């Protein structure tokens, strides 16, 4: 069987990547991977910003002489009801038998952040060893993408479904570089669904040795004015957070910055939180923000925190409420985009109750999907959500290929599938896969 001649040589892979031009690193790495397992071709599909599709970023055809024939495209592949969606949900590779070849789909993931899918085709059924090599190679590819995107807009361009306005461009820069994180005691994921005229929503997080810092903010207004206001608030929060300030001090600093530099009637609402990793004790400041949701033992219960004035409204010092997260808790923070007119038809509590077995990444994406359905895609305000699963200080993350199998979602919601797949996810017989024309 193909793919059994040797393991993926990470030293050779990284050496080839380092020598390559930044925009060519995906082709170079894909070609190296394909040759190492005697594959016919390899392609990277990168997840778009809406979470609804994958963009076929590159395609490498391997000839018998070991040369690469490149055919780069920005072809879009809808995720709904596909094996690619299943691979992203389960974070497990899929081996698919087709009429003329075999296709292996491997998730490209780093610490639970699902970047995309690696496609590799074989003339014969690949050996289990070859699939294992591809999992390791896809994991390396995730880190190569993270490093290489600092030097080129190619990957950013591939992820964009629609042109960005200036305000959306500013807003994008205020978000963390990874929307998901898996660590020992926790898993989290955030999502921002922008309105037509982008508002001032943001979410942010940071993890250090002792604490997890979280923030969800909503700057008043729309367009560039809201984005600039959000920039002032987020920059101040990050500045003080990097000095290890607690939430009350963060709120005080952001409020002062807004009072000094913003217009008198401008303000930002926010939910600021710091969780102590040793025991789950948390300090929470709610500055005029919607109350968070807490899922405990399968039931959605209110998180009792004091609602204080928005940032920029008062010079009175903020106070932090004390909350203790218990192992198994799920916390969801949203912005008021989920409470606006038609958006209120999204039953957030019902979705939380019905998705307790899903990864936070799927929870926030499901909330956004339902919101777009009930509003017809016409959002009057940004809608943002940040979902955190707390496992406790003894929580252990055992990762394979960039994700923890114990934390991944077992299956996509089958009710969303347009057609049922013919068999189990690890081996599917004769299923057509979009992109056959590239073979």
153 with 178, same domain: the answer is no
CA distance 41 to 224: 44
pLDDT at 63 over 70: no
Q: What is the tens place of the pLDDT at every residue in 160-200?
A: 877 788 988 899 899 999 999 999 999 999 999 888 777 79
Instruction: Return the DSSP state at 131.
Output: H
417 with 360, same domain: the answer is no
- Please answer whether residues 182 and 111 qualify as being in contact, where contact means their C-beta atoms are separated by less than 8 angstroms: yes
CA distance 266 to 253: 16
Rg (alpha carbons) of the chain, rounded to whole number: 23
pLDDT computed for residue 55 by the predictor:
87
Question: Whole-model pTM?
Answer: 0.87
- Specify if 404 maps to a domain: no
Number of domains in the chain: 2
- Specify if 144 maps to a domain: yes
CATH classification at residue 191: 3.60.40.10
- Specify if 395 maps to a domain: no
CATH classification at residue 125: 3.30.450.40
351 with 336, same domain: the answer is yes
Q: Which residue has the tokens 């994958």?
A: 54
Helix (H) or strand (E) holding 158: helix 154-159
Determine the structural domain holding residue 373 and report its residue range: 163-390
- Per-residue pLDDT, averaged over 134-138, amounts to 92
228 with 359, same domain: the answer is yes
280 with 199, same domain: the answer is yes
pLDDT at 298 over 60: yes
136 with 200, same domain: the answer is no
- Per-residue pLDDT, averaged over 329-337, amounts to 96
Which stretch of 160-169, 184-193, 326-335, 418-427 has the lowest confidence by average pLDDT? 418-427
140 with 53, same domain: the answer is yes
289 with 261, same domain: the answer is yes
pLDDT computed for residue 8 by the predictor:
60
- Specify if 300 maps to a domain: yes
275 with 344, same domain: the answer is yes
- Specify if 402 maps to a domain: no
Q: For residue 279, what are its two tokens?
A: 């025991």
CA distance 93 to 83: 10
- Specify if 4 maps to a domain: no
């Amino acid at each position: 069987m193909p793919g059994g001649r040797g393991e993926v040589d990470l030293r050779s892979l990284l050496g080839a990547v380092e020598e390559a031009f930044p925009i060519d690193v995906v082709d170079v790495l894909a070609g190296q991977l394909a040759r190492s397992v005697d594959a016919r071709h390899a392609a990277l599909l990168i997840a778009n910003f809406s979470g609804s599709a994958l963009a076929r970023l590159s395609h490498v055809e391997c000839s018998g002489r070991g040369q690469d024939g490149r055919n780069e495209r920005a072809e879009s592949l809808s995720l709904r009801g596909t094996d690619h969606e299943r691979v992203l949900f389960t974070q497990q590779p899929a081996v698919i038998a087709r009429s003329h070849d075999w296709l292996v789909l491997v998730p490209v993931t780093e610490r639970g952040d699902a970047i995309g899918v690696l496609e590799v085709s074989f003339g014969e059924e690949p050996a289990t060893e070859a699939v294992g090599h591809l999992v390791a190679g896809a994991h390396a590819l995730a880190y190569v993408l993270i490093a290489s995107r600092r030097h080129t807009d190619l990957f950013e361009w591939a992820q964009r479904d629609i042109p960005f306005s200036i305000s959306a461009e500013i807003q994008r820069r205020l978000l963390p570089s990874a929307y998901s994180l898996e660590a020992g005691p926790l898993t989290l994921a955030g999502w921002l669904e922008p309105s037509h005229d982008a508002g001032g929503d943001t979410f942010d997080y940071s993890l250090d040795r002792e604490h997890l810092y979280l923030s969800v903010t909503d700057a008043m207004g729309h367009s560039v004015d809201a984005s600039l206001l959000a920039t002032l608030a987020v920059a101040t929060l990050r500045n003080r957070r990097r000095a290890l300030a607690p939430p009350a001090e963060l709120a005080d600093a952001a409020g002062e910055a807004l009072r000094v530099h913003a217009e008198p009637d401008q303000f930002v609402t926010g939910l600021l939180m710091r969780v102590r990793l040793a025991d789950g004790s948390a300090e929470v400041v709610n500055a005029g923000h919607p109350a968070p949701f807490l899922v405990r033992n399968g039931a959605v219960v209110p998180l009792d925190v004091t609602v204080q004035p928005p940032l920029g409204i008062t010079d009175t010092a903020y106070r932090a409420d004390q909350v203790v997260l218990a192992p198994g808790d799920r916390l969801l923070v949203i912005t008021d985009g989920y409470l606006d007119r038609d958006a209120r038809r999204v039953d957030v509590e019902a979705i939380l109750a019905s998705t307790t077995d899903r990864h936070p990444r799927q929870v926030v994406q499901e909330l956004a999907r339902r919101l777009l359905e009930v509003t017809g895609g016409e959002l009057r305000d940004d809608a943002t959500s940040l979902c955190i699963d707390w496992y406790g200080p003894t929580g252990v993350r055992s990762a394979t290929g960039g994700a923890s199998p114990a934390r991944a979602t077992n299956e996509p919601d089958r009710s969303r599938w347009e057609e049922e797949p013919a068999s189990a996810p690890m081996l599917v017989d004769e299923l057509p896969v979009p992109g056959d024309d590239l073979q």
